[in-house]
């Protein structure tokens, strides 16, 4: 049963990585599995097999979440954006009680709240990020592909950061889209010469992602083990402001006029919101026989 619970938690992380305005790492922190993932990542170079074995359930769940996200969530997000958005806002807000328990302390310092305010301002700033154009050729293009991998890995690890938004800010988003699009088309058309020609780019992308994951993973491991209260104060700030970020960017991620949806969409959204709050609250409080599944 505990393996199933871990897979379910991992699937929420995977789905959170797909939905605009939400990051998978934030969902991992909300469900209190973030430290397990960071610890495994930190130990990966020393004991790769043991590290993977310690979190294999989460990895399976994340992959399932990605599939569900791409196949179903994107479809329903376009078909009924208000209900889906309200459901995920419910998922986010339902975690607040468990997060507050993480920051319970006998004394609070001013810098704990300062970290929360900085996290909120940082998230608000991302609302106003606009895409910059970046055209590179030759050696600079290779460097850019490598940086795309690094930036996306950083965004995957730091709660609240959107990989797509980060790439847009640095002007690298189109590079990623073009590269992935060319590889997918080549695979569909069985164009092996194009696939082979794109392998160096794909290798650079993966290399950048691995370096980003390992370096930033070690940084987050240090913060979690030395500044855990500060970390969860920052997560609380991100959770408080995330629903506004999701609603603010909602129209930009759909083709129709979202806020002119029929009244029953809002009713369904309200019901799903309550369901989302309830599910996250229950999942984040599930326990196994000895200790919590966290």
Q: What is the model's pLDDT at position 289?
A: 38
Q: What is the model's pLDDT at position 294?
A: 41
Q: Which residue from 177, 172, 176, 166 is spatially nearest to 129, judged by alpha carbons? A: 166
All residues at 6 or more sequence positions from 194 whose CB lies less than 8 Å from its CB, including other chains: 182, 185, 186
Q: Note whether 54 and 4 are within 8 A (CB).
A: no
Q: What is the pLDDT of residues 46-104, one digit of tens each?
A: 888 888 888 888 888 888 887 777 667 667 767 778 888 888 888 878 878 877 777 77
Encoding tokens for residue 67?
A: 């599939």
Q: Note whether 134 and 174 are within 8 A (CB).
A: yes
Residue 47 exposure: Cα atoms within 13 Å on the Cβ side: 8
Q: Which residues of the chain have pLDDT under 50?
A: 287-294
Predicted TM-score (pTM) of the model is: 0.67
Q: How far apart are CA 260 and CA 246, in angstroms?
A: 17
Number of residues that make up the chain: 294
Q: What is the model's pLDDT at position 254?
A: 63
Query: What interhelical angle do 228-248 and 192-226 show, nearest 10?
Result: 130
Q: What is the model's pLDDT at position 144?
A: 79
Encoding tokens for residue 155?
A: 């965004």
Helix intervals (H) in 19-162:
24-30, 34-42, 48-68, 74-79, 81-93, 96-102, 110-127, 138-157
Question: Which helix (H) or strand (E) is 176 found in, with range?
Answer: helix 173-188
Q: Note whether 191 and 184 are within 8 A (CB).
A: no
Distances (CA, A) of 285 to 9, 87, 105, 176, 278: 12, 19, 20, 38, 11
């Amino acid at each position: 049963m505990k393996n199933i619970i871990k897979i379910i938690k991992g699937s929420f992380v995977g789905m959170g990585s797909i939905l605009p305005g939400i990051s998978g790492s934030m969902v991992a922190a909300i469900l209190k599995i973030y430290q397990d993932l960071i610890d495994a990542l930190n130990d990966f170079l020393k004991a790769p097999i043991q590290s993977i074995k310690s979190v294999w359930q989460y990895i399976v769940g994340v992959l399932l979440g990605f599939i569900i996200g791409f196949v179903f969530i994107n479809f329903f997000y376009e078909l009924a954006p208000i209900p889906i958005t309200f459901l995920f806002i419910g998922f986010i807000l339902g975690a607040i009680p468990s997060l507050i328990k993480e920051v319970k302390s006998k004394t609070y310092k001013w810098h704990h709240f300062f970290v929360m305010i900085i996290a909120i301002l940082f998230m608000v700033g991302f609302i106003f990020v606009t895409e910059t154009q970046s055209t590179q050729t030759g050696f600079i293009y290779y460097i850019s592909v490598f940086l795309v991998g690094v930036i996306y890995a950083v965004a995957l690890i730091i709660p609240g950061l959107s990989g797509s938004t980060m790439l847009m800010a640095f002007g690298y988003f189109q590079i990623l889209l073009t590269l992935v699009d060319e590889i997918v088309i080549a695979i569909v058309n069985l164009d092996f010469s194009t696939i082979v020609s794109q392998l160096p780019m794909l290798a650079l992308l993966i290399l950048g992602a691995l370096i980003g994951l390992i370096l930033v993973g070690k940084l987050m491991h240090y913060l979690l083990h030395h500044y855990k209260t500060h970390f969860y104060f920052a997560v609380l700030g991100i959770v408080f402001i995330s629903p506004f970020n999701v609603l603010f960017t909602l129209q930009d991620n759909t083709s129709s006029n979202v806020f002119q949806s029929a009244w029953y969409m809002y009713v369904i959204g309200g019901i799903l919101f309550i369901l989302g709050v309830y599910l996250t609250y229950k999942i984040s409080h599930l326990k196994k026989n000895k200790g919590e599944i966290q």
